[in-house]
Structure 1
């Protein structure tokens, strides 16, 4: 496991952000939070290099200037996920989470490592929690289909 993992938590619900950030920090993870796309981008552009990004699929913030050419119809947190992977690091372990089941295709198009259906406790899904604590993607994890995790605490069939 890396010395200290940098994690970007992009979530617009303050109670959710506070609860998860507290757990992550208690686990020794360096966590920066954002409640919209533009703030998340500014955090990264200011020098915070996330190994892992947990992004609300319906994160507000619209389309920052210049994104239209690269967005492929993505919006919200899916757009942020795609931006991180293309403009920052393809090794960032990106996890899209959303309260609706039917956004897996957008998560796949955005390049997300995993898609999680909220509500979920990250620490109660062993495979997901272990991956978060591992940090950035390993070379052998690159190019695999987006994984889906559910409330039932298990990986859903692809």
Structure 2
């Protein structure tokens, strides 16, 4: 006898519905591994500052503490990384974590990134929501507040 498993279903629920508020100069785009991706309009040939939202599925009981340890380990493993700050703060209206850092990219020079995470309990699973903002070091000097505002606007839709 065979059975059929479908997505979404009670045993394999859909990812959480999410939203971002974007300033006028921003637009969505598609990229691998993202459920939401948005970039700021820039002249052709320039690095596009962006905010990417990704969701990763884990078993029930996966915690924010586990996610924080994994994300900080990934950041620490980046060659030449300089951590700029970290703290706990609300993400998606609940408990969350933020880490910001910079490193050198061979193609564009200094990149600055900020990662905010939250774990959403979702029936028999836990979904890690990761909201990553990226800009060049030069762009970050004027745009970092805008990128943080977009990250902070993330909500359950």
Instruction: Give the TM-score, by structure 1 length.
Output: 0.26
Q: Which has the higher helix share?
A: 1
Higher relative contact order (CA 8 A, sep 6+): 2
- Max radius of gyration: which structure? 2
Instruction: Give the TM-score, by structure 2 length.
Output: 0.26
